[in-house]
Amino acid sequence: MKRNFKITIEYDGTDFAGWQRQPNGRTVQEEIEKTLASITQESSPVVGAGRTDSGVHARGQVANFYSNSVFSINDFHRALNGMLPEDIVIHSVEEVNEDFSARYSAKERAYRYYISQRPAAIDRKYCWQLRYQFDIEKMNRAANSILGIHDFCAFCKTDSETEHHLCNVYSSQWRLENGLLIYSVSANRFLHGMVRALVGTMVNIGRGFTPEEDFQSILQSKDRSNAGQAAPAKGLFLERVTY
């Protein structure tokens, strides 16, 4: 009988074309599946909790796979980290119930977006560098207004394939920390491009480019063209998935 394994993953998304396997482009899912095939000599499709876009990073992505292998959890952990490329690290391996799904069993996903208002050499690949002065109170009022269940069609990529655009947002807040402007948001689900569109729109509000009172109109319009630009992928991190 096949065993079901849950893995928690950190990856630097800089050189990946996203999480999901694609015909052209290096992906996190493909790298893990290739490594598992080398370890177990069997095909083990890996299901992720979320499909991060090209350039997006993760500290707490979760995935699961089934295997007939007799390897212990520790053996799997050591083998994966020993064979995966250096921009992917497996933080934990657990054996879970047969019906566990990293995607469908998830109750909450949490992201952070990082903005630096000063030039950065080392961190330039992991934040959006903007030298504007921001009104964080205005940005936080916009962030607070999306708490609860809303239709986020206005903040979703137009090519997104989804049955509906309703998301239940549990937390949404901007804060300054060690010279970085950080947006933290958690919800039951996120749409394709949603966090980056929210960040881009709230940045426009914070710098005075978009009137604060327009935010609710944008949300209610369900029209992506009314929202701001998508923030660059490099500043976005999938922080954790809760079950």
- Could you say which DSSP state residue 51 is in? -
| Half-sphere CA count of 212, side-chain side, radius 13 A | 14
Cα–Cα distance for residue pair 134/69, rounded to 1 Å: 53
Residue type, 188: N
H-type helices in the chain, by residue range?
28-40, 73-83, 136-144, 194-206, 214-221
SS3 assignment, position 66: strand
Token couple for 25: 């482009």
Catalytic amino acids? 53
Instruction: Report in angstroms the alpha-carbon separations of 168 from 106, 174, 181, 185, 237.
Output: 13, 18, 24, 11, 19
